[in-house]
Amino acid sequence: MNKDIFKLEPQRLWKHFYSLTQIPRPSKKEKAAVDFMINFGRNLGLETITDEVGNVIIRKPATPGMENRKTVILQGHLDMVPQKNSDKKHDFEKDPIEAYVDGEWVTANGTTLGADNGIGVAAAMAVLEAKDIAHGPVEALFTIDEETGMTGAFGIKPGLLKGDILLNLDSEDEGELYVGCAGGLDANIRFSFTPQPVPSDMVAYKLAVLGLKGGHSGLEINLGRGNSIKLLFRFLYRACKTLGVRIGTIDGGSLRNAIPRESFAVVTVPSKNATNFEKLVREYEQIYKNEFSLTEPNLSFTCKTDSLPKFLVDENSQSRAIRAFFSCPNGVVRMSDAVPGLVETSNNLARVYTEGNQIVGQCLMRSSVDSAKEALADKMAAIFELADAAILFEGGYPGWKPNPNSPILTVMQQVYKNKFGTTPEVKAIHAGLECGLLGGVYPNLDMISFGPTIRHPHSPDEKVNIATVGKFWEFLVEVLKNVPLKG
């Protein structure tokens, strides 16, 4: 959308990032990006392979005089979260991202930008292409489907990677080095219902919760933002009890790892209660605006008359589903005792929708403590089993335990201080990084995660700070020059 991106420094990184924005690459639909990366590596004359799940590995020999350094794996993921504003026409499987420069930031027109993890991937590409950067042996690992299940990292086999040090280029605060992350677990919930005919005296409305910020369900779960699904079911609990509201269809949230920004429902109301229903919607909109006046200034909750649905959810199933989703834990469950200010355990009620004769729900639970994650899963099971729903847990992945004796951490702290005059913060993160899975297969890897400053990932407000991309690049180049010797 705006080729001023090509003028940004470092140009060698930004040109690759722009190329990535032109390649549709939503999670599980990364084939074009995989093919692009294979061609990129082969055109450079570098050893380029793909594994059986679609990860791409490109190897570059050490520059002269650096052959005795440990091998560094530069790791990032090719996929991006496909989120857009409801009024934006965009097909993530076909259309390029309309990226542009907005002051100190690069952002996108009505969609996610893909800086998560496009900037990290672009940095690795720039290293592979460079002829003027000193480094030991480099192995670039580009994984698939990180955002919706870490399929690529799950598929990595022993013996494939040759590196000693892994630099994960997928963190989102410049000046911070991450040495640990949370594990995760998906919950898939299903309520079966009996479709019932719509009584003749009903009026239909479409409810809409709009204008929420959403965001990353790990990094931003502690910011007190509204969850559109929770707000919708909070209203339905009251409206169904007092006004005889019946559910036709529900469509809330979009992705398991994004805080739900928008939710919709088509409901029916007895004609005699229509005026009171509209009044109750206005009352709840004001309640929500008052409660979220600082965190969600653009929140709206509205209803509009609509055509009658084809059928209604039976009253018993409707009651059980509403009570369960209204009661479902959401947001921060516990803060960490070990790391002040870090979320230990959380749940994101991410998606609820009707499909055939079922109401389907999806949640993503995170915790840096395995036993706490298991306890949250048990609580979720207890709630939904009481409501006679089926609940299935899958897609679990481990956390990444910090290594206080990491040699590369010591090097990176010193390099950063020498380069920028300050000491970087060492942190753990309440999000899933691929380091946990990769470390499970390659337990001897010395791992650090870092990156530039990215705000509002997983939402159409995603943006990356230009100045921090420059610092991130300079830091990466200097670290590669100072990688420890083998042995």
Q: What is the CATH number of the domain that holds 147?
A: 3.40.630.10
Rg (CA), the chain: 24
Task: Tell me the pLDDT band of 86, cut-offs 50, 70 and 90.
Answer: confident
Q: Specify if 225 maps to a domain.
A: yes
Rounded distance, CA 448 to CA 179, Å? 5
Q: Specify if 278 maps to a domain.
A: yes
Which has the closest alpha carbon to 172: 465, 401, 399?
465
Task: Identify the domain containing residue 441 by its residue range.
Answer: 3-182+399-481
Rounded distance, CA 484 to CA 71, Å? 9
Domain edge (last residue) among 397, 432, 462? 397
Instruction: Please say whether the beta carbons of 291 and 273 come within 8 A.
Output: no
Q: Specify if 254 maps to a domain.
A: yes
Instruction: Please say whether the beta carbons of 339 and 367 come within 8 A.
Output: no
**What residues are labeled active site?**
79, 146
Is the confidence at residue 387, as pLDDT, over 80? yes
**374 plus 437 within the same structural domain:** no
Show the tokens assigned to 333: 């469950």
pLDDT digits (tens, 9 = 90+) for 199-251: 999 999 999 999 999 999 999 999 999 999 999 999 999 999 999 999 999 99
pLDDT cut 70: percent of the chain above it: 99
Is the confidence at residue 1, as pLDDT, over 60? no
**Per-residue pLDDT averaged across 272-294, rounded?**
98
**257 plus 226 within the same structural domain:** yes
State the helix-helix crossing angle for 115-129 and 466-481, rounded to 10 degrees: 40
Which one has a higher pLDDT value, 440 or 331? 331
**406 plus 341 within the same structural domain:** no
CA 217 to mean position of chain CA atoms: 7
pLDDT at residue 303 in the model:
98
Q: What is the mean pLDDT of the chain?
A: 96
CA 398 to mean position of chain CA atoms: 16
pLDDT at residue 337 in the model:
87
Neighbours of 233 (CB within 10 A): 25
Instruction: Please say whether the beta carbons of 38 and 48 come within 8 A.
Output: yes
Instruction: Please say whether the beta carbons of 144 and 53 come within 8 A.
Output: yes
pLDDT at residue 2 in the model:
64
**366 plus 439 within the same structural domain:** no
Q: Specify if 298 maps to a domain.
A: yes
**387 plus 405 within the same structural domain:** no
Domain edge (last residue) among 378, 397, 416? 397
Phi and psi angles of residue 192, each rounded to the nearest 5 degrees, phi first: -85, 140
Reduce the secondary structure of the chain to three states and give it as a string: CCHHHHHCCCHHHHHHHHHHHCCCCECCCCHHHHHHHHHHHHHCCCEEEECCCCCEEEEECCCCCCCCECCEEEEEECCECCCECCCCCCCCCCCCCCEEEECCEEEECCECCCHHHHHHHHHHHHHHHCCCCCCCCEEEEEECCCCCCCHHHHHCCCCCCCCCEEEECCCCCCCEEEEEECEEEEEEEEEECCEECCCCCEEEEEEEEECCCCCECCCCCCCCCCCHHHHHHHHHHHHHHHHCCEEEEEEEECCCCECCCCEEEEEEEEHHHHHHHHHHHHHHHHHHHHHCCCCCCCCEEEEEEECCCCCEECHHHHHHHHHHHHHCCCEEEEECCCCCCCEEEEEEEEEEEEECCEEEEEEEEEECCHHHHHHHHHHHHHHHHHCCCEEEEEEEECCECCCCCCHHHHHHHHHHHHHHCCCCEEEEECCCCCHHHHHHHCCCCEEEECCCCEECCCCCCCEEEHHHHHHHHHHHHHHHHCCCECC
pLDDT at residue 487 in the model:
79
Find the distance separating the first CA and the last CA of the chain, reported in whole Å: 49
pLDDT at residue 399 in the model:
87
**190 plus 167 within the same structural domain:** no
**348 plus 423 within the same structural domain:** no
pLDDT at residue 466 in the model:
98
**Per-residue pLDDT averaged across 419-446, rounded?**
93
Domain edge (last residue) among 351, 368, 397? 397
Q: Specify if 335 maps to a domain.
A: yes
**122 plus 9 within the same structural domain:** yes
**129 plus 156 within the same structural domain:** yes
**60 plus 33 within the same structural domain:** yes
Q: Specify if 259 maps to a domain.
A: yes
Which has the closest alpha carbon to 332: 319, 345, 315?
345
**Per-residue pLDDT averaged across 281-300, rounded?**
98
**Per-residue pLDDT averaged across 3-13, rounded?**
93
Bridge partners, 143 (sequence order): 77
Is the confidence at residue 338, as pLDDT, over 80? no
**Per-residue pLDDT averaged across 33-49, rounded?**
98
Rounded distance, CA 115 to CA 462, Å? 8
Q: Specify if 486 maps to a domain.
A: no
| Tokens 């009707």 sit on residue | 354
- Enter the pTM of the model: 0.80
**212 plus 134 within the same structural domain:** no
Neighbours of 332 (CB within 10 A): 16
Q: Specify if 487 maps to a domain.
A: no
pLDDT cut 90: percent of the chain above it: 91
Looking at this protein, which amino acid is placed at residue 80?
M
**Per-residue pLDDT averaged across 347-369, rounded?**
97
Is the confidence at residue 102, as pLDDT, over 80? yes
**257 plus 323 within the same structural domain:** yes
Instruction: Please say whether the beta carbons of 360 and 278 come within 8 A.
Output: no
Q: How many domains does the chain have?
A: 2
CA 234 to mean position of chain CA atoms: 25
Which has the closest alpha carbon to 85: 348, 261, 321?
261
